[in-house]
Amino acid sequence: MVAPEYYLLLAAAVFCIGLFGVLTRRNALYFLMSVELMLNAANINFVAFSSYYGDLTGQVFALFVIALAAAEVAIGIGIILVLYRNFGVTDVTVPREMRW
C-alpha cells in the first residue's frame, strides 16, 4: 500500500499545477480547466484517505465534488458566453472597466 503521504504530495502537486494555470492562463476556458484540476486534487485526497480510514464518506463526497464541478462548469460556460458577447473576447484580463 502506498503511504498516505504520497497521496498528499500528489494532491498538492496537482493543486499547484491547477493554481499555476489559474494564475497564468488568460483564456477563460483554460482558467476553468485549471480550476477543475484543483478540485480534482481535493478528490485525490478524499478518495485516498477514504480508503486509508476505511470511511466511505470521502469517496461519496468526491462524487459530490465532481457533480458540483460539472454544475460549475455549466454556469461558467454560460458566463463566458455572455462575456464573449459583450466584450468580444474570452481573455479574462480584458474586462477591467470596474476597478479601484
Interface residue list for another protein (CB under 8 A): 4, 8, 11, 15, 18-19, 22-23, 26, 28, 31-32, 35, 38-39, 41-46, 48-50, 52-53, 55-58, 60-61, 64-65, 68, 71-72, 75-76, 78-80, 82-83, 85-87, 92-93, 95-100
Q: Nearest approach, Cβ of 45 to another protein (angstroms)? A: 3
By beta-carbon proximity to another protein, the closer residue of 2 and 98 is 98
Q: Nearest approach, Cβ of 17 to another protein (angstroms)? A: 12
Q: Nearest approach, Cβ of 92 to another protein (angstroms)? A: 5
Q: Which three cell numbers stand for residue 9?
A: 504530495
Distance (Å, whole) CA 25 – CA 22: 6
Distance (Å, whole) CA 22 – CA 37: 10
Q: Nearest approach, Cβ of 2 to another protein (angstroms)? A: 14
Distance (Å, whole) CA 72 – CA 66: 10
Taking residue 21's Cβ as centre, other Cβ atoms within 10 Å add up to 18
Taking residue 79's Cβ as centre, other Cβ atoms within 10 Å add up to 11
